[in-house]
Amino acid sequence: MASVSVSSQLNKAVRQQYMSLPQGGRCQVTYVWIDGTGQGLRNKTRTLDQEPKTIHDIPEWNFDGSSTYQSEGSNSDMYLIPVAMFRDPFVLDPNKLVLCEVLKYNRLPAESNHRARCNKVMEQVKEHCIWFGMEQEYTLYGVDEHPFGWPKNGFPKPQGPYYCAVGADCAYGRDIVESHYKACLYAGVNIYGTNAEVMPSQWEFQVGPCEAVDMGDHLWMARFLLHRVCEDFGVIPTLDPKPMTGNWNGAGCHTNVSTKVMREDGGLKFIEDATEKLGKRHKEHIELYDPNGGKDNVRRLTGSFETSNIHDFSTGVANRAASIRIPRHVGQEGKGYFEDRRPAANCDPYSVTMVLAETLLLDPEDHGKEYGYEEYMFGKE
């Protein structure tokens, strides 16, 4: 078995003794934000005199951006702006988790704050009632960065028996998966389901349907909960798009999309129109479907292992080797949604949903106008 962290072996019964102490009517609020890598999550906690009822009851805060890859030490204070509140499944009610946007010293969005840009686009297209559902694949590692449950000096048997599997020889780490699921439900994350994936020690959970910017809010909080649950168990979840080289599946974040007209009778026509638009902007989408402009995803999108080729755009009904898959029942019913299979597991959901909404629903002349791709990719003001 892969090694686990030392902290996970502390006596949890002792911890529980303290967790049951009364709080004197006060409330712990943990502020969660995305750091300068665009992938890492940070958090810190403060006390409020009473339980906040809405996000507006939670004050702004600040942090040292020079320690999170977000500022210079000589001008390091960054603002934390609460945007979404959840229940805290680790210290329980009345305590809260709050997802925050990060602003720089001049109160402009930090370079890693893609939510602000996403929200601008979503406001422009809100009459279309665009829904998203994202399928987050991840892989469990030990602290030795070896896949959890894999033999120390070799490999498990080849892929085949692991997808949606049951049994000690096929499903590695189910306790973590089930604990994460319950934590998401308690917190109020709109989690839809979960399953074991094709590679051993690889799993998936689905979040949605969510409308507009809520998709990114709920997926980022689900990711925070995953990291926090795994911390208790002493293992590490990785969102690397190709965690193991060779004949092993990569990890994606397939994104399901529908607008109001797609969900109504005759909606298939609008889905087909959407795939045509997506094909014309394949390169722009690939650049925003992982945090490194496609450099991470190129290891995954090879045309093998249930992926399309990163250089080609394709569509197909029930085809998991296509860029865009139209589910079979959608083709039969003539309405519903489509699945974009290109986003990498480590994508920023704000970036993915933003560019999808923009491509599908804004005039081509307005593409990138709110932020500009140069500004978006390189953080220029």
HEC assignment per residue over the chain: CCCCCCHHHCCHHHHHHHHCCCCCCCEEEEEEEECCCCCCEEEEEEEECCCCCCHHHCCCEEEEHHHCCCCCHHHCEEEEEEEEEEECCCCCCCCEEEEEEEECCCCCECCCCHHHHHHHHHHHCHHHCCEEEEEEEEEEECCCCCECCCCCCCCCCCCCCCCCCCCCCCCCCHHHHHHHHHHHHHHCCCEEEEEECCCCCEEEEEEEEEECCHHHHHHHHHHHHHHHHHHHHCCEEECCCCCCCCCCCCCEEEEEEECHHHHCCCHHHHHHHHHHHHHHCHHHHHHHCCCCCCCCHHHCCECCCCCCECCCCCEEECCCCCCEEECHHHHHHCCCCEEECCCECCCCHHHHHHHHHHHHHCCHHHCCCCCCHHHHHHCCC
Give the CATH number for residue 31: 3.10.20.70
Last residue of a domain, which of 80, 113, 146?
113
Threshold 0.85, pTM exceeds: yes
Is 285 inside any structural domain? yes
Quick one: 97 and 146 in the same domain? Answer: no
Distance CA 157, CA 139 (A): 17
Last residue of a domain, which of 90, 113, 136?
113
Distance between start and end Cα atoms, the chain: 49
Query: How many Cβ atoms are within 10 Å of 38's Cβ, its own excluded?
Result: 18
Is 340 inside any structural domain? yes
pLDDT digits (tens, 9 = 90+) for 272-307: 999 999 999 999 999 999 999 999 999 999 999 889
Quick one: 45 and 181 in the same domain? Answer: no
Quick one: 175 and 209 in the same domain? Answer: yes
Domains: count for the chain: 2
Q: What pLDDT was estimated at residue 283?
A: 96
Quick one: 259 and 324 in the same domain? Answer: yes
Give the CATH number for residue 271: 3.30.590.10
Quick one: 134 and 279 in the same domain? Answer: yes
Q: What pLDDT was estimated at residue 36?
A: 95
Q: What pLDDT was estimated at residue 72?
A: 76
Domain that holds residue 193: 122-378
Is 1 inside any structural domain? no
Distance CA 190, CA 96 (A): 16
Quick one: 149 and 13 in the same domain? Answer: no
Spell out, as residue ranges, where the chain has pLDDT lower than 50: 1-2, 373-374, 376-381
Q: Give the CA distances from residue 356 to residues 63, 191, 241, 276, 343, in Å, rounded to whole numbers and listed in that order.
A: 32, 21, 20, 13, 11
